[in-house]
C-alpha cells in the first residue's frame, strides 16, 4: 500500500499514474477536494481509496489506517508563495509530515 498526499493535484496525480504504469494499484490518495476540478486528474487512475485531507489526520490519530503501508509520498504541501497564514503553511508543510 502506498499513500500519496496531494494525489489529486498535478504532480501527485502524475506520480499515481506512474505507479499505475508499474502495475501498482494499492494506492491511497489524500487530498483536499474543495477545488472540484481536481477530480479530472483522478479520472483515469487506479487507486484503492481516497481520504479527504482533514479526515486523514483523524484516521492516523485513531490508528484507523490500513496495515501494510510501505511509503507515504508527501505532495500535499502548500506551495502558494503568496499564502500569508503562517499556521496553515506550518500545518501543511511541517506538522502534517511529522504524523
What are the tens digits of pLDDT across the range 15-49? 999 999 999 999 999 998 888 888 999 999 999 99
Q: What are phi and psi of 30, to 5 degrees?
A: -115, 130
Name beta bridge partners: 49.
28
User: What are the residue ranges spanned by the domains of the chain?
Assistant: 2-98
Q: Which three cell numbers stand for residue 99?
A: 504524523
Name beta bridge partners: 52.
31
- DSSP notation for the chain: -EEEETTTSHHHHHHHHHHHHTT---EEEEE-TTSGGGHHHHTT---SEEEEHHHHHHHHHTT-S-S---EEEE--S---TT---HHHHHIIIIIHHH-
Q: State the pLDDT confidence band at 99, using cuts at 50, 70 and 90.
A: low
Tell me the pTM: 0.84
Domain at 2-98, CATH from 3.90.550.10, 3.40.50.1860, 3.40.50.720, 3.90.930.12: 3.40.50.720
What are the tens digits of pLDDT across the range 80-92? 889 899 998 888 7
Amino acid at each position: 500500500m502506498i499513500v500519496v498526499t496531494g494525489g489529486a493535484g498535478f504532480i501527485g496525480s502524475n506520480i499515481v499514474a506512474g505507479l499505475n504504469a508499474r502495475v501498482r494499484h494499492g494506492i491511497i490518495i489524500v487530498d483536499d477536494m474543495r477545488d472540484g476540478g481536481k477530480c479530472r486528474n483522478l479520472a483515469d487512475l487506479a487507486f484503492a481509496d481516497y481520504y479527504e485531507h482533514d479526515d486523514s489526520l483523524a484516521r492516523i490519530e485513531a490508528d484507523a489506517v490500513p496495515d501494510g503501508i510501505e511509503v507515504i509520498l508527501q505532495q500535499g504541501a502548500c506551495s502558494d508563495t503568496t499564502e500569508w497564514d503562517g499556521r496553515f503553511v506550518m500545518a501543511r508543510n511541517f506538522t502534517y509530515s511529522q504524523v
